Structure 1
Amino acid sequence: MEAASLRNSVPPGRATTFFGFVWTVVAVAVAVCAAPLAALPGRVPALPAAFWLMAALAVAGDAHPFTPSGQRPSPAVFPSICFSFAILLGWGLGPAVAVQTLAVAVSSWRMRHAVWRAAFNAGQYACALAVAREVARLAVPGGFAAGFTVSWADVLAVAAAGAAWFLVSYGLVTLALRMRFGVRWWSAFRQGFAFEAVSNSSLLLLGPVLMAAARVSAGLIPLIIVPLYAVSRMARLSGEQERQARLDPLTGLANRKALVDEVAEQISLHAERAAKGEPGRLALLLLDLDRFKHVNDALGHAVGDRLLVEVGRRLTASVRPGDLVVRLGGDEFAILSGRLAGLDAAREIADGVAAALTEPVALDGLPLDVGGSIGIALYPEHGRDFETLMRHADVAMYDAKHRGDTVAVYAAESDHNSPERLSLLADLRQVLEAPGSAGAADDVGEITMYYQPQIAIASGDVVGVEALLRWRHPRRGMVDPEELIRVAEQSAVMRLLTRRVVDDVVEQIAKWSAAGIELRAAVNVSVRDLHTGEIADQIADRLARFNVPPSQLQLEITEGALMADPRRVLATISRLDKIGVAIALDDFGTGYSSMQHLRRLPLAEVKVDRSFVLGMAVDADDAAIVRSMIELAGALGLRVVAEGVEDERTWRLLHAAGCDVAQGWFYARPMPAAELATWLSRYRPLQPGPVQPGSGRHRWPTASIRGVRVDQGRADVN
């Protein structure tokens, strides 16, 4: 093995160390081989024809070394190895080093190597031959002179000498790579070991066979060309197999196996640089094409394959030199970029990739759009191994796709399968499966329901409550409700959670009724709940079990839930409407196709999202949007509930706009059921004054219970 991976340019930071090592190897080789080479001129007349024939074949062979395709970098196999090793066994170190050095000079001239590289290669081989000779002498002190009888000990000595030759030669080259590129020595040693061991061992073991043939007749030596050709074919086939194993056959890009190896190498390199205080980040970008399946379905897989080839070409042209572009399979690609200053540099690469895909690809005269979503994960912030970086880049990519963005960086809150979330999900399942209605468990806390009053703006009457989930975890404290729902709705635990919430709320309504308090409670349901009719069956069963009128329970759904699977969701909503359970559209104004939903669905109420209500007292645009929503819902005969009412000015603006119901901290914070009963006993309506002409719509009869006026009307109040 020569230093095939070494290039003429060396980074300034390592130049001194690297070239110092190169010339040290050369100096050691000269010192070790000086005496044998000095004695060589006196031995030349006595050297037989077999020696000269081997020397000629060695030089001629290295003029055209075996260079397998598909390697990165491409290692060459030099036939002179078998001849110089045979000469070492037969005539000693001096002749072997002389022939090998001449062969290196010829091959370096033919391959246009720099002087330092030719000198290093010659020194590397000389050191390897010197060590091999010393190992052979330990077993065969008299040397392998002509006429000796070969024993098994001699065979083992030759094998040991060949192994020593390989370890010295290969070890010196990998050390040079370590100093040249800063990679770990073991990584460099391991990367090409299999190929180099097989190819060089084949050549070295031909050496003693060649020497044995020379003892019979010099005419047998040229026959070595046939096994040398076999070694050449082996090297070429090995290179082809390596190429197939590391490249994508369609696009010619690197494949997943190559990416795994490169990430491991780059992580080791960055870890060493970080230990030295050298800054730098490693970025893994994951790209998934948009609408590629449509291309395959409409135009066929042949057109899809051509599109992937063009995408691969554009990606390669858009990244920095040295970045690795990978096709992982299907329409998924990856880019590995090292030595980055930070996140901004990674985003710049991603933006360049996105820009390269904006131009349509013309295939058979048809322009095809090939945009995509890109996820970014950085080492070490987002992972310290390939699997973690890959998973986090995948999370970021789907986050970008979900949000409609082109590029997204990994964020833990978007990772539904992070260890923290998986642990939280396991705890949630445990608390939901714990015995007792309260769901208490010592090590996972307790699930409880809080209730926030909803007030009729015109009269100040309490017309209902919204049931809100709370979970106090013994280690995490109060778990954020949004985080809790995000964790649960991605798994079957959502079914358990919905069952618990419905059971608790319906049972609480029954308890209030027994105490003389008739309140309507609204419950939020997720997309997963609406995909089957199970929730409708469950609600019907619980209402019958606790003898609660359907009009006292209301379900809130979001527009996002409607868009997930409109056909199945509509079927579930229709069943609930037939039971008598009212449906409210939550977060009104933040979703999709609101007019269509208001027209087609059996809705009783819309809830104006708090993002608009919070700003209407200080932002004229928000106030105008809220007024428009109220007018639209009123024209369709729907009740309007405003969320996030936190001050008197907002309350009065909503009253002036004709909003029906308000909910927010201006009235009361969410509270447990026991506290709500106390709050109801002390509550006194706030009178806003007369309703402006034309703004008062929908009046519901009310009844006074324990000094509180509560709604007795149809179940369309949240």
Structure 2
Amino acid sequence: MTHVEANGQAPAARALLEFRLHLGVGLPLVLVLLFGPEQASSPVMALLLVQGLIAIHRGPHLNRPADETPWRHIRHASYFFVLSSLLRVVREFGGLPDWLTLLPDLLTIPAYLIIGLCFMVMLRHRRADEDDSARIDALLMGLGIAFLTWTFLIAPNLASDLTGSQQVNALFPVFDVTILVLAARLMLSRGVRQPSLWLLVLACGALFTGDLFYCLREALRVPVPQSWVDTFLLLMFVLLTAASLHPSMRTLTEPQEGVTRDLSRGRTVLIGAMVIFPVGLTALMPPESMASNLIRAALCLSLVLTVLYRVIRSNNSRARAERISRRRVTHDALTDLPNRELLTETVTLWAGRAAGERLEISLLFLDLDRFKMINDNWGHRVGDELLRAVAERLTQQVRAEDLVSRIGGDEFVVALAGPPSERLGEQLAERLIAEFNRPFSLSIGDVVTSVSIGVAKSTGDVHALDLIRDADTSMYKAKSNGRNMYALFDASMRDQVRDRVRLEQALRGALEREELAAHFQPIIDLASGELDGFEALMRWQSPELGFVSPVRFIPIAEETGMIEDMGAWLLRESVRQLAEWTARRGPGARPLHVSVNVAVRQLRDGSLVRIVDDALREHGLAPSALWLEITESGVMEDLEAALLTLDALRAMGVTLCVDDFGTGYSSLSYLDRLPVGIVKIDRSFVQGVGDNGAKEPIVRAVLAMTRAMGHRVVAEGVETEAQRDWLREQGCDLVQGWLYSKADVPANLTAWIDRAPALSEA
């Protein structure tokens, strides 16, 4: 326990102890006052008054509330109460002149006003003003008590010949009713009901009871014992001052979390009683003076109108809560656009009347291109800001009868209906593609993001969820075609999706079932014709689907995240195989390397460096023997994160390669930033060399550029001697391709390991 905690708990424990002592002494003394001998009443009263004054000073000092103002008010009210009580004692013994006989009673009035002010401050701190039901229920209680007070106390007193002192005493219940209403609001307001709050409310009840007895005794001459009056008034003083001692008094000046409760049985009975009794009494009691009857009627009418207002407000609150709840269910919290549920309902509704009205429903499924880069570079706050800006722009581009919805992440769907001849979907898609070329003005400046759109149509014969799925499918087609475009759905896409799902399901678990295999393709040193190393390639032989091309399953593995485990397996298997081949060749042989492709997800995964280090250490392989191939486009998706991983690998001694150079960004500035040592020219460029092809100048420029930057070059896809010879003449360092060998299993590559053949032998 820290020193601060100890200091905070000690006063609280002390306050709780003094609270228990206060009630343990005060309540028995109140009983003595009620049932004890009359000679003991004066010393007991004096003791209770002194004890209360001590408590009202000690409580705020020990508990340290956030705002002492209400307790300061109670302290000042206590002074008036004590002074009034002492003067009453003096008056009973004839110690006050006639013109001061009203003074004890008049001094009580400021005490009432100050206590009322105390409750108002507490209500403001607890934010109870926001709780209308508590205000209404408290008003009902006040009106009911006011009716009873007027009927049985005030009206009879005003009708009789009373002295000034008696008339003042008859008005005390009016102040009590006001204080009770404020106390009721404090109790009925939403929030935690702590012991201090209960003590304050009980004190108000005791005050009302004591003043009622006092009024009956002094004004109406009802033979109420003085001990009853003294007992309840001093009980009020004990409870009121005890509330300041309990540690929970701090909560009375703190904002309270709203706790919505069902209308309890007790609260229901109380509300009913406050209405039924006054109305019943009004009907049963004989008529009195015109003024008295009008006041009673006004109070009854106020009660009825208050109950009516409560019923109306309760119904409206329930309806408003249902509307808010419905909106939360059907609208996106970030953009306030309709969500998938409302989209589905709307499309289903349109589909029901599409055939009869000859309407064509069009759905545009929009996905922001490379939205993850924005989140990663500037954070989710900027990403959310962009999503809201996109929502606003989409809303501006559609008709009032169209529906723009956000169904998750950076995916939006626009639904529209109209005559088939108008091609509304295609026209809107073209317009949106153009609109997204305009930058979005965000807090970080202007941001440009393109969008891929899938368009699906229906005349009402397709289920809403199926139409959304078809639009989603065509959106992926637009992305695969190069992004920043739209694609129109056709039935063949549905077959492609079905095949893709089947392929994905079969791929899951393929690694555990040992269906994956590592194949290796030799890489040749052009200058010497000797074997320099191998590129490791992943192959999949499915029992269900047969041989599956990497072109088909690698993209699925990357999208689903399976590539991380599969890539780690290929890396470990490649290192193990190279270590085995190196041991077979023996010392003194030319060192070989193995080149392994690294997916984008692996670059983002911080564990790649550890996986590489563990594999090299386990098989005793030099880091320089491992080449890791990365693609330009993959690195550029999150350049800063990729550079952290690449720099760590380069520092370890691993050789880094840019794969498929020329097909991605192909920027000298990017290439200069990457810590690579090898550049691999894509096979699509190599195919056109050696026969005066159009791509020879491109390859020649790449070779010159990379040589100037100190990088070695590997040409992929070499299939003819003409290609080989031309590349050798241009100074290309390494080649691989079917001219030498296809990628094969290790068992079929032992001749390369044992003979290490030169080019002429190949």
Give the TM-score normalised by the residue count of structure 2.
0.48
Matched residue type, 1:393: A
TM-aligned CA deviation for residue 448 of structure 1: 0.9
Superposed displacement of residue 463, structure 1: 1.4
The answer to whether the Cα contact below 8 Å between 1:290 and 1:370 also exists between their aligned partners in 2 is no
Larger-Rg structure? 2
Return the match for 1:314 from 387, 391, 397.
397
Cα offsets for 1:6-28 (capped at 9, x unmatched): xxxxxxxxxxxxxxxxxxxxxxx
One-letter amino acid of the structure 2 residue matched with residue 662 of structure 1: V
Q: Deviations over 1:50-100 (max 9, x none)?
A: xxxxxxxxxxxxxxxxxxxxxxxxxxxxxxxxxxxxxxxxxxxxxxxxxxx
**TM superposition shift of 1:650:** 1.9
Name the counterpart of 2:414: 335
Equivalenced residue count is: 439
Give per-residue Cα distances to partners, 1:586-611, cap 9 Å, x unaligned.
Answer: 11122336423443333221101122
Q: Does 1:666 align with 2:739?
A: yes
Matched, 1:499 2:578: no
* Aligned residue number for residue 558 of structure 1: 631
Q: Is the 8 A contact 2:450 2:484 kept in 1?
A: no
- Distance in 2, matches of 1:607 and 1:638, equals 10
C-alpha displacement of 1:497: 0.9
User: 1:408 deviation in Å?
Assistant: 4.0
User: CA 1:248–1:380 in structure 2 vs 1: closer, same or farther (change >3 Å)?
Assistant: same
In 1, are the aligned partners of 2:360 and 2:458 still within 8 Å (CA)?
no
> Which of 319, 324, 344 is 1:260 aligned to?
344
Deviation at 1:624, TM superposition (A): 0.8
SS at match of 2:621: coil
Partner of 2:581: 512
- CA–CA distance in structure 1, aligned partners of residues 508 and 333 of structure 2: 46
1:514 to 1:589, Cα distance in 2 relative to 1, 3 A: same
Distance 1:660 1:504 in 2: 27
Root mean square deviation, CA, Å: 5.2
State the partner residue of 1:457: 526
Matches of 1:603 and 1:500, distance apart in 2:
23
Please give the residue correspondences for 1:581-596 in structure 2 after superposition, counting only pairs within 5 Å. 581-592=654-665, 594-596=667-669
Report the residue type matching 1:458 in the other structure: A
User: Quick one: distance in 2 between partners of 1:588 and 1:334?
Assistant: 37
SS of corresponding position for 2:679: strand
Q: Could you give the per-residue CA deviations for residues 377-412 of structure 1, whole angstroms, max 9, x where no partner exists?
A: 42579x954334435534655775784414245699
Amino acid at match of 1:610: R
Q: Which residue pairs with 2:619 in the alignment?
A: 546
CA contact (8 A) 2:347 2:415 kept: yes
Contact 2:363 2:468 in 1 (8 A): no
Partner of 1:497: helix, strand, or coil? helix
For 1:47-196, list aligned pairs within 5 A: none
Name the structure 2 match of 1:347. 426
Q: Deviations over 1:611-668 (max 9, x none)?
A: 2222334674421111111111111221100111122222222122111111112222
Q: How far 1:509 moved relative to its partner? A: 1.4
Contact 1:607 1:642 in 2 (8 A): yes
Query: Structure 2 residue aligned with 1:471, among 534, 537, 540?
Result: 540
Whole-angstrom CA distance in 2 between matches of 1:385 and 1:316: 24
Q: Percent identity?
A: 32
Other-structure match for 1:430: 509
SS in 1 for 2:669: helix
Q: CA deviation at 1:524?
A: 0.7
CA contact (8 A) 1:283 1:379 kept: yes
In the aligned structure 1, how far is the partner of 2:574 from the partner of 2:344? 51
Superimposed CA distance per residue, residues 88-130 of structure 1 (whole angstroms, 9 cap, x where no aligned partner): xxxxxxxxxxxxxxxxxxxxxxxxxxxxxxxxxxxxxxxxxxx
Q: Identify the structure with the greater helix proportion.
A: 2
User: Does the 8 Å contact 1:266/1:282 carry over to 2?
Assistant: no
Note closer, same or farther for the CA distance 1:594–1:407 as it changes in structure 2 (3 Å cut): same
Question: For the Cα contact (< 8 Å) 2:363–2:471, is it kept in 1?
Answer: no
Distance in 1 between residues matched to 2:423 and 2:341, nearest whole Å: 28
Question: Scaled by the length of structure 1, what TM-score is found?
Answer: 0.50
Name the counterpart of 1:168: none
Partners of 2:422 and 2:516 lie apart in 1 by: 40
**C-alpha deviations, 1:555-588, integer Å up to 9, x for none?**
1111223223333322322332333321111111
**C-alpha distance 258-557 of structure 1, shift in aligned 2 (>3 A):** closer
SS in 1 for 2:343: helix
Matched, 1:286 2:366: yes
After superposition, the Cα gap between the structure-2 partners of 1:295 and 1:360, relative to the gap in structure 1 and judged at 3 Å, is farther
Please state if 1:376 is matched with 2:454: yes
1:387 corresponds to 2:465: yes
Q: In structure 2, what is the equivalent of residue 529 of structure 1?
A: 602
2:452–2:475 contact (8 Å) kept in structure 1: yes
| Counterpart check, 1:569 vs 2:642 | yes
1:20-35 matches, within 5 Å, as none
Match of 1:639 in 2: 712
**2: CA distance between counterparts of 1:506 and 1:644?**
24
Partner amino acid, structure 1, of 2:414:
I
Distance in 2 separating the partners of 1:330 and 1:538: 32
CA shift, 1:471, in A, is 0.5
1:479 to partner: Cα distance:
1.4
Gaps of 5+ in 1: 1-229, 440-445, 688-706, 709-718
Distance 1:512 1:342 in 2: 67
Aligned mate of 1:612, from 679, 685, 708? 685
* 2:510 partner SS: helix
Distance 1:370 1:548 in 2: 46
Aligned CA distance change for structure 1 residues 602 and 304 (closer, same or farther; 3 Å): closer
Deviation of 1:501 (Å): 0.8
Q: Are the aligned partners of 1:644 and 1:665 in contact in 2 as well (CA < 8 Å)?
A: yes
Q: Is the 8 A contact 1:260 1:386 kept in 2?
A: yes
Residue 359 of structure 1 deviates from its aligned partner by: 6.8
Taking a change above 3 Å as real, the CA distance of residues 489 and 299 of structure 1, as seen in their structure-2 partners, is closer
Q: Deviations over 1:130-160 (max 9, x none)?
A: xxxxxxxxxxxxxxxxxxxxxxxxxxxxxxx
Amino acid at match of 2:575: V
